[in-house]
């Protein structure tokens, strides 16, 4: 079963769509074209990686463009055989004020709904606060996400450059708003920062899932906590290589997590930047990291259990998984 719980909308913009939207909106074409601007050629660090993702930001300034990108992202995932997709995005990056944040979320949610209706593949939006934004901006993002709870938005996240902005405490109130609205809570943590950041995200922000979490394995105490607490780590092996979180795909800590009893889900993070999708990431788990069919079945169960799904959708996916 292909369940993608960690994928960024800004990292799923088709280069062909970028070219069309740029031409229509007067955005200058970068040297080498949009595919070169969007795609990484090899490993770097998190800051360089995020700069590639940011090349798509101009296209989210228009609500109609944001809706189109969201629709195409879900269509592409369905065409690749996915059974469920969660798409996360940072609306404050694409808005000038709180009203604009609502407009971006509404456009993305509508585009996702259109594609889910057309393809039959369910999807849910995860709204992301960003580390480099100030407290008031992220409070506005949380309030907007709460307004759309049950109307396409299923979760709340903290994303951005953990290397440059490691502090979590400034975001505590925003996550309190999101939790009160019933949104699922995930958080990018321990991707560039030490493993203890993952535990802080769970205890301070209420995260039940941790995005990446690669450095959890560097701290035996945090690794034991992760196994005992039931926290879910969203692993994205190829992306972690491209961001420099690991030195090689073969060194990804997924097997260490598995052997320690940590619950795992899988994501493709920013597939247009890395040139990989969820099916490729699953192949990495098997062909490079030694996951067995039983390991994949366990991953599927965890993914179904930890996805930010409405009960009816979860039951439908569970019944399909059991066939």
Here the tokens at position 219 are 């701290």
3-state DSSP of 63-83: HHHHHHHHHHHHHHHHHCCCC
Give SS3 for 118. helix
Give SS3 for 264. strand
Place of tokens 């597939």: 271
Q: Judge contact between 97 and 136, C-beta under 8 A.
A: no
Q: Which residues are catalytic?
A: 191
Give the number of other CB atoms < 10 A from CB of residue 48: 13
Place of tokens 């999708």: 277
Phi then psi dihedrals of residue 288, to 5 deg = -110, -40
Question: What are the C-alpha distances in Å from 170 to residues 21, 37, 110, 174, 276?
Answer: 36, 33, 31, 9, 34
DSSP letters, 164-183, are T----GGGHHHHHHHHHTT-
């Amino acid at each position: 079963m292909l369940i993608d719980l960690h994928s960024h909308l800004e990292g799923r913009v088709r280069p062909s769509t970028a070219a069309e939207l740029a031409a229509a909106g007067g955005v200058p074409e970068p040297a080498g074209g949009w595919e070169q601007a969007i795609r990484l050629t090899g490993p770097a660090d998190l800051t360089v990686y995020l700069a590639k993702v940011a090349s798509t930001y101009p296209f989210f300034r228009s609500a109609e463009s944001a809706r189109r990108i969201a629709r195409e992202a879900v269509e592409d995932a369905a065409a690749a055989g996915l059974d469920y997709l969660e798409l996360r995005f940072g609306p404050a990056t694409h808005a000038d004020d709180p009203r604009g944040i609502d407009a971006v979320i509404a456009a993305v949610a509508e585009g996702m709904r259109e594609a889910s209706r057309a393809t039959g593949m369910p999807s849910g939006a995860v709204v992301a606060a960003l580390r480099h934004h100030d407290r008031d901006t992220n409070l506005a993002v949380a309030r907007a996400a709460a307004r759309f709870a049950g109307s396409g938005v299923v979760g709340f996240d903290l994303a951005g450059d953990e290397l440059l902005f490691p502090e979590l405490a400034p975001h505590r109130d925003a996550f309190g708003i999101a939790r009160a609205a019933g949104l699922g809570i995930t958080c990018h943590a321990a991707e560039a920062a030490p493993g203890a950041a993952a535990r802080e995200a769970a205890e301070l922000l209420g995260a039940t899932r941790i995005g990446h979490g690669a450095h959890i394995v560097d701290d035996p105490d945090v690794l034991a906590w992760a196994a005992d607490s039931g926290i879910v780590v969203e692993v994205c092996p190829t992306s972690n290589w491209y961001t420099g979180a690991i030195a090689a795909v073969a060194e990804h800590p997924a097997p260490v997590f598995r052997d320690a009893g940590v619950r795992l889900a899988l994501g493709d993070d920013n597939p247009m930047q890395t040139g990989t999708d969820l099916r490729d990431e699953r192949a990495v788990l098997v062909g490079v990291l030694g996951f067995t069919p039983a390991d994949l079945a366990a991953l599927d169960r965890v993914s179904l259990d930890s996805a930010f799904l409405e009960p009816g959708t979860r039951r439908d996916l569970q019944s399909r998984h059991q066939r």
